[in-house]
Amino acid sequence: MEMTRCMIVDGSSVVRKVAKRILTAPLEHVYEAETGVAALAAIRGEGPDLVIVDSQLPDMDVVEFVTKLRATSQIKQPVILVMMTELDLVVMMKAKRAGANDYLLKPFDREQLIQRVQEFGEAA
C-alpha cells in the first residue's frame, strides 16, 4: 500500500508548516491540526495513512491521543509516528503499548522525515 494521506499534529505552527512543506511532494494530501481533539475530529473524516504527532500536545497526553485514535472504528488504521524532542524511554514505551508504530526526533530535516515516511510506506 502506498501512503498518500498524512496528518501532522503539533501545537507549533512552525513545525506543522515545515513538515507539511517537506511532505507535500512525496504525499498527495497533508493535513495539519494544532491539538489532539482537533486532529481526532479531522481524522474521522479524512482517514490518513500516516499520523505524525508531537509527544507534547497542548491539550492531551500523547498516550491518550494514540489510544483514542486506535479505538476509532476505522477499517484502515494509520501508521503513527510520535515526534519527540528527546529520547524519553518511558513515553516511547507507553506510546508504543498504546499503538504508536515508532518515533521521530525533533528537530528533523527533510531527508530524515522523508526517509521515515518511505520506510513505513514500503512496510505497509
Q: How far is CA 38 from CA 10, 33, 46, 73, 95, in A?
A: 11, 6, 12, 17, 19
Question: What share of the chain in percent tops pLDDT 70?
Answer: 95
Average pLDDT in the chain: 91
pLDDT of 3 over the 90 cut = no
Write down all domains in the chain, each with its CATH number in brackets: 5-123 (3.40.50.2300)
Mean pLDDT across the stretch 28-40? 95
Model confidence over 69-106: pLDDT tens digits?
999 866 678 999 999 999 899 999 999 999 999 999 99
pLDDT class for 28, splitting at 50, 70, 90? confident
Sheet architecture: strand order including 102-105: 29-33, 5-9, 50-54, 79-84, 102-105
pLDDT of 22 over the 60 cut = yes
The cell numbers describing 18, all together, are 515545515
How high is the pLDDT of residue 73?
67
64 C-beta neighbours (distance < 10 Å), count: 13
